[in-house]
Structure 1
Amino acid sequence: MRLADATWPEVAETNAELALLPVGSTEQHGPHAPLGTDSLHAESVAERTAEQYEATHDEPCVVAPTLSVGVSAEHRAFPGTLCLSPDTFRSAVRETVGSLAQHGMRRVVVVNGHGGNVDALREVTATISREDEAYAVPFTWFEAVGEHSSRMGHGGELETALLRYTYPDLVREDRIAEARERAVDRWGEWVSGVNLAHDSVEFTENGVVGDPGAGDAELGAELLELAVEALCEVLEAVAERDL
């Protein structure tokens, strides 16, 4: 169930205890991919997982509205990027989970699509579980796609492939050549194991890390299947956990 599409009596009737909260970002993803890429991917994984989970379990799973602005200061030099401080982002996640818990959805998996959110989510879900009337854990989709995870860049192969499968009309295919030509192979500017760059513009002129031309829709379908399978396993464990 998509919470935003439901009425309040429909929510009350579900007696749902499980919820997925997609979180992403609004930030540059190169000249070929939309600013909302991370949020779209988090939504896709969450919604497909809820559908699959409800089809195989006699238990509802609610998908909350996406928090689509994240911790993205590293991309601030690129027009259109919006960013929250880690404190504000953590507060938004915690208060949203608190609202879900107030209506009985006390077991929440935060489905993440943006690398810049990872540290803040690890911290806030631990705080929620220790101090609030809820239990929450983070899940980042691109960390759960097996060997493909090692090729995760930014606006690169994996993110573009998943877009080509889920939202093909949003990929500016006429700009792929430009994205590839000016992309870099690695995130950061490293010396003796230290990343000297705080902002992405310091090491990638067009914001792309990786090869967006390498990922087709077939790969995107595989990525989505792997992420959904992994998230279903997490949901099962969260549903069974003794709180």
Structure 2
Amino acid sequence: MRLADATWTDADELDTDLAVLPVGSTEQHGPHAPLGTDHVTAETVAETAASNYDREVVVAPPLTVGVSEEHRQFTGTLWVSPETFRATVRDVTESLASHGWDRVVVVNGHGGNVSALGEVCQRVTRDGDAYAVPFTWFDAVGDHSDDMGHAGPLETAFLRHAHPKLVREDRVDDAREGASDHWGEWQSHANLAVDSAEFTENGVVGDPTEGDAERGEELLSLATDALCDLLDAVADRDPSRPPHK
């Protein structure tokens, strides 16, 4: 059930402890993909998995602003601090848990959220307010994950399949021309760059022309299957903390 579309009485009738919380960002994705790419993809994976799953799952509204300051030189990018992001995820997760939906998979679509998301899910679980598990969809698509850049082949493919009207097809070639072929500027296994504008002219990393709709269909299928498997594991797991040794 999409929580945003339900009435409170609809929600009250649900017999489940499972919820998914999509999180993403509002940040530049080159000249061809929308600022909302990360939360759109996360919500799509969450909703598709919930529809395909054989048990009832609550789909919370997405958190649409994330830890994205690394894209601040590109107009339209919004960001919050890692502290604010963690606090918001925790508050929303605890809100879900207060209604009995206390097994929460946080479905993430933005790489900049990963560190903070892992930290807050551990904290929520250790404190016993809920059992929270982070899931980043583009880490769960097999060998395709090796091609994950930024507004590159994977995200472009996903959008071309699931939300084709959001892709500015007349700008894809320009996106490729101004792209970097990898993230960051590396020396001695350290990234010297702080912001993406240091190494990509137009915000793109990777070749978006390599992401067609057929590949996007496979990406959504792989991510959805992985999330359904994770929901099974979360539903069946004993979330209690081990005793002191």
TM range (shorter): over 0.9
The alpha carbon displacement at 1:192 in A equals 1.4
Residue aligning to 1:240: 236
1:195 paired to 2:225: no
- Map residues 1-243 of structure 1 onto 2, 5 A cutoff: 1-53=1-53, 57=54, 59-243=55-239
Structure 2 counterpart of 1:140, one-letter code: T
Distance 2:237 2:175 in 1: 45
Deviations for 1:61-94, whole angstroms, at most 9, x for unmatched residues?
Answer: 0100000000001000100000000000000000
Please list every run of 5 or more consecutive structure 1 residues that lacks an aligned counterpart in the other structure: none
In structure 2, what is the Cα distance between the partners aligned to 1:137 and 1:187?
A: 26
Aligned residues: 239
The amino acid across from 1:41 in the alignment is: T
Letter of the 1:85 counterpart: S
Measured after TM superposition, the shift of residue 124 of structure 1 is: 0.1
| 1:145-192 alpha-carbon deviations (Å, 9 max, x no partner) | 000000000000000000001110110000011101111110001111
Cα shift readout 1:4-24 (whole Å, capped 9, x = no counterpart): 000111111112210000000
Q: In the alignment, is the contact (CA less than 8 A) between 1:98 and 1:132 conserved in 2?
A: no
Query: Secondary structure in 2 aligned to 1:108?
Result: strand
- 2:126 maps to a residue whose letter is R
Task: Tell me by how many angstroms 1:219 deviates.
Answer: 0.3
C-alpha distance in 2, partners of 1:39/1:132? 27
Question: 4+ runs of 1 displaced by more than 6 Å?
Answer: none
User: 1:60 and 1:142 mapped to 2: Cα distance?
Assistant: 24
- Given the two structures, how large is their TM-score scaled by the length of structure 1? 0.97
Q: Would you say the 8 A contact 1:97–1:134 is kept in 2?
A: yes
What is the TM-score when the length of structure 2 is the normalising length?
0.97
**1:131 positional shift:** 0.6
Residue pair 1:187, 1:209 contacting (<8 A) in 2 also: yes
- Once the two structures are TM-superposed, the CA of residue 220 in structure 1 deviates from its matched residue by 0.2
